[in-house]
Amino acid sequence: MATSPLYRSPPKPPGIYRTARWLRRISVIVLVVIIVFVAFVVYSAVQITKSHPSVGSSTSQLEANDTVGITSSLTLTNPTYFAIQQFEIQVHILNGSGLSLVDTTVGPTTISAGGSATLPLALYIPITAEGQSLLVQNQNLEWYVWGNASYGYLFSISLGVETNKSWGAPFEGLTLTVGTPTMMGGAYSVPVTLSFNDDASFADSGTLSFQILPASGPSCGSGSFTLDVPPGSPYQQTQSIGVAAGCDPSGGKVTSEFVGDGIDVVLPPESIP
């Protein structure tokens, strides 16, 4: 390259100097890009306030698989500029004694930017084993709900909610009272009184059959009550059943079972004084 006597082009920096300079320049560019990107993500995330999540109508009923099923849905809109990825809800429910009843996960799903998604919620609370008390005892259930999601490729966000919800038992205060056997018309009979409150949000429709078991030996007798108890109503009914001659139910127990539309649940046994 020709040089003018009046102008000398500035000397070119050596390669090692240019390397260091470029490394510093690239670091500044990377920093600026990250700051701008994070600022955009934060600005975008703020738009979530325009979202109106809604919970669909919920139903609660006894299910065929010995559970109480609570079903609902959650609709979320994403008015932001980034997808909400791996959105997941976990529900953990403990009964009044602190025993775990349900551990359920909904999702994961991705809600695209500007889109919406409806997540079906279905909780099946077992009414056998540790869940059996739910049939005959109102209690406070502890709900732990966690929501997790990834946002803007760089952030994971979680939301945890702890709350208590009251549970109304379908056979609250269930008692099966066995009276004293009496002889009528050459046969022994005993009055059995069934009483409870249906504090659940669904009706008790079906048949409650019971069996009187003495302290030892074979069954004294059995019977059944036909139920159609609306939610929130008390029930009390007495009927006499025939019992085997000489059978003394004192010190024994009454076992019962409720059979409804597609369901069959065993109720907690009652001791006979």
Partner 1 sequence: MSTPPTEAPASPPDASGPTVPVGPSPGQYRIPSWGWRILGGALRLVPLALLLIGVPVGILTFLQSNGIPPPFPILLIELYGVVLTALIVARYIFRPTSGYGPLAIGVSAATLVYLYYIFEHSTYTLRIPNAPFAIGVTFTDLILLLMIVPALTLAAGVVTTVEDARRPRERLPFDYPM
Q: Give me the residues that bind partner 1 (CB under 8 A), please.
A: 10-11, 13-14, 16-17, 19-21, 23-24, 26-27, 30-31, 34, 38, 153-163
- Minimum CB separation from partner 1 for residue 144, in Å? 10
- Minimum CB separation from partner 1 for residue 37, in Å? 9
- Minimum CB separation from partner 1 for residue 220, in Å? 51
Q: Which is nearer to partner 1, 43 or 155 (CB)?
A: 155
- Minimum CB separation from partner 1 for residue 24, in Å? 5
What is the C-alpha to C-alpha distance for residues 201 and 128, in angstroms, rounded to an integer? Answer: 19
Q: Which is nearer to partner 1, 55 or 159 (CB)?
A: 159
- Minimum CB separation from partner 1 for residue 145, in Å? 9
What is the C-alpha to C-alpha distance for residues 87 and 105, in angstroms, rounded to an integer? Answer: 11
The answer to whether 127 touches 101, Cβ cutoff 8 Å, is no
What is the C-alpha to C-alpha distance for residues 127 and 136, in angstroms, rounded to an integer? Answer: 10
Q: Which is nearer to partner 1, 57 or 163 (CB)?
A: 163
Residue recorded with tokens 């920093």: 31
What is the C-alpha to C-alpha distance for residues 150 and 189, in angstroms, rounded to an integer? Answer: 68
Q: Which is nearer to partner 1, 30 or 187 (CB)?
A: 30
For 206, residues 6+ apart whose C-beta sits below 8 A from its C-beta are: 227, 258, 259, 260, 261, 263
For 12, residues 6+ apart whose C-beta sits below 8 A from its C-beta are: none
- Minimum CB separation from partner 1 for residue 107, in Å? 17
Q: Which is nearer to partner 1, 26 or 129 (CB)?
A: 26
- Minimum CB separation from partner 1 for residue 16, in Å? 5
